[in-house]
Structure 1
């Protein structure tokens, strides 16, 4: 059971990873509706929707979050507009802490850790209770950088995230105002969270169905392979048995010598083959030996050529199983202007050069 649980967990993780990858690729080619949710001075929110392709869009919608509940009446056009949209909540500076932080220029790559370590000092909240962000660092004098920092309470943002989830939004961005190093107003992103993919749970559902179909197809292929493999193995065993019987019959005929095939086999094994003799010599003779004449007369072979060590040839041929009684049939000579010896060697040939099976 533990193995099945681990396998199920692995497949769920794989499906989640694939769904995320598919949604990431699809998000590059599909544009979501963008909804701006501005916080008002009285604590209410006003939603604005960008114009659609046909130029139509619902009128701005104002509502107040009371006890973290949704507005009692949400128009139909706004329900359709918010479903699958990207909602950006723009907070007022009343509940936002903004700072202009100064760091050495070398700290640009380590801002995340350095700012997190100072959240308790920069804000009234701890790291776990704060939602914060910062703008791109701006260089100043003496090789230093200034960073526009903003933060707010997580309790302020959590109802907005629940609201976006309930409305069916695909993602939510929470931003707050800040002041840049040159005094220009900025918008700092405090939170950018993805709530669902482009197709919601459809991708995961399709992957589950596809995985189940693949498993069923694999099981069917396995059963078919077992059945057909058994049939093919039976035919192969029968064929090998018939081949073995035929070989045994041919070997019996060859050993008895009573048939033409047996006589041919016997002659093959008792008559020297010129090709086999040449092949045996090519294996025995060293690379520094050159053969100029080769004569095969009956069961004898005579070899004439040039080499650097003629006596060694006698030893090599005697050590071979293809030749016996190797000897010189003429004197070995060396010319005054040559570094090699001219040899004349003859030896008896063993007619048997291989297995008769």
Structure 2
């Protein structure tokens, strides 16, 4: 049988109705994703570790078999029988009747009553995929048509069996009369108030995975790890913040050290560049001076040339060379002829008297001042020959 249920939004719902539909569609998907994610993470751990941290879904299943109550521990697809307890032996003294019979870790497991398969009515339906977001609410309108009961007379739940493509779901509606459920709960005596849910068994005796107990009757067990998990979560958040802050501080310190290293490297590079410039200047200056010295005659050569060209009755009081200018100051009996004697030298040019001749009454000679310009040649030019005798040259003074 195929049932198609369509509900139209009330007039005037507008944007608020759209938000409600979006919220209703996201919430079950988010819950399903979180359940899948935590289950996948827990499956990577050993079974003992999962049991230690209570990561495996576990239930304490209660089955009424005659006058006895059969206890079994359900863990995923595994059901392990524990013990059988007479219902009459359960004392109603305000304490948990099973706390003295079970280990503390098993006694704290959520307790579920499993009804026999004959006490429930099951119907398979095909619904649109959009109905999966509000499956229980949608099937609440189908109880009157699919079962001989009314919605007010039964407790019900639904589960998804299969998905047909992207637009259809195969679901199962499970109902139990409230009178039958109340009788089953009353038969548990003091344990009825400790139940977290009521499930039903299939033909093989395995739980269906539904909850036929209303929210008002469900026993809410406080998770003993809740506060510890909150503290651990807070500690983890603080540790994460501290780690990120420390990482940021380390990055800033490393950036400062790197900046100092860069500044030091730049300073050293600038110093090296300055030293290189100074060295180049010294090398170029030395090369220039050497080239200048190589192109200009030496003082020895100048003095030797003067000794060859000046007559014996000529005496020099001062000989100075400043740059390429030669200055001669002295006494001579042939002062007027000195310019002619100095001309034609390969070491200087333009010899001339600077000022008038001044007679010296003591030596009866003339005081003269002569200037000339030294000859400078390129470094690769041949040096002038200075060993040749100048015509008419006399010995030095």
TM-score, with length taken from structure 1? 0.39
Larger Rg, first or second structure (1 or 2): 2
